[in-house]
Each structure stands twice: as C-alpha cells, then as structure tokens.
Amino acid sequence: MLQLGYFGLINNQNMRLNKFIAQATGISRRKADELIANGKVSINDHLATLGDKVEPFADNIFVHGQEVFLLSEQVVFALHKPAGFITSNTGHTFKDRLVYELLPKDKKQLRYAGRLDKDTSGLLIFTNNGELIENLTHPRFAHEKEYLVQSAFAIRDEQVKKLKKGVNLDGELVSAVAVILKDVQAVSITVTEGRKRLIRKMCDAVGIKISELVRVRIGSLRLSELGLGEGEGRVLREKEIAKLLESS
C-alpha cells in the first residue's frame, strides 16, 4: 500500500513526475517509473507518461487511483530493534511480533530503510523519504553497516583472516570493509552490502557460531550515541541524519 506524505518543495516549480511520486509515497524513482510505464499514474484527468513534469501544488497526481501529495517535512526515525521482532508490518502467523508494534502511533506509516532479520537486534531506520531509503539501501551508495558478532565459542585467528580475505557465497567472493576482533568471542564486521542474512552467511562460511548479532552503526551514526534502550526509538535530528549518510 502506498504511504502518503513526505517533505517536499516550498514552491510550485515544475519537477519530474517520478521524483514527485518518490517524495510523496516513499517508493524509489525506479519503482515510480514502473508505475508510470504500466499506466498506474494519472495527472489531473489524463494518464501520465515517462518524463512528465508536474507542478507539485497545482496538479492533481493519482497513483492506483489514489491522490498523492507532498507534506511539509520529512521524518527520519531510529529504532533500537530487539531480537525476536520481524522487520515487516504484516506477519506470517498470529504469533509473529512486528517492529511496527514498537513505533509510536503517528510513526506507523513510515517505511523501513533496510531490514534486520528476526534474531538480529540493533539500529533500524524508518522514514517517509523515498530517496533516503534508496540512498541507504542501494549498493551504489556504499553506506557502511557495522555489526557486532558475539560467538558461542572462541574466535580463532584463522577465522578472522578468512573473513578479511573474503568468503565464497553462492559462487561469489564477498569481502568485508573491516573485520576487527574485539575479544576472544566477539568480532566487529563492517559491510556496504545489504543482502539478506549476509553477516550470518559470512560467519557460517568460516565456522563462527553466532550467539548474538547487533547492528551498531549505519554510516557514521552509532546506536550507542542515540541513548536508546532495546525497543526504544526517536526522531533523528538534522546533524544525526547527516551522520547517517556518511559512509564511515
């Protein structure tokens, strides 16, 4: 379902339709182009075409027959996700616990910028800014994500060396940006990729049995700096958003 809202322009200058839709709904520009190409978008009383421009506060834009519009501000919300919660707003069974249960009522319309699996805790970002979501999640922007791995057993030097060298996953060599041994049973792994369960697969490939996994940093924004206990969250300040977008 489309999420209405987002921060937008303060004037009525023409802007590209795909950018407007991205800002108004939280989806990417590529997805907006797909909707336009498939005849799902209209401007006023006619179907939109790729490359169209609109006047944000004069034209009426509809997606799937639903009008979308710009609001006056963006929201970026940080959550300290506990283990045991699924990064989704719909569960597979009635027993599933969802991260949206942890958001304030007025933040439940926000979309997450990258997932954490059920058993992983740590920093999770929500926003109504579609371009920010793409910026944080698309590999070409190479934003660093740092994870702290707690092992059930002592971590051997050879395992750390293998992680630094890179591991073969599905026929592809995958390397970390940094691998730092914290103590005998803890290692920090920093990556720029966001593929599903990547850290778990890397550790499994070198024989590290994870007992706890926490995402402690995105960009230069560290979970420890936010003052959030597990299950707590808050809106980020402008300086914090800037740190979020830094790669290291």
Residues designated catalytic: 117
CB under 8 A, 24+ apart: contacts of 137-144: 137/113, 137/194, 139/192, 139/193, 139/194, 142/192, 142/247, 143/192, 143/218, 143/219, 143/245, 143/247, 144/177, 144/190, 144/191, 144/192, 144/217, 144/218, 144/219, 144/247, 144/248
Single-letter code of the amino acid located at 82 = P
Residue corresponding to tokens 């590209």:
16
Bridging pattern class, strands 221-222 and 210-218: antiparallel
End-to-end Cα, the chain, rounded Å: 34
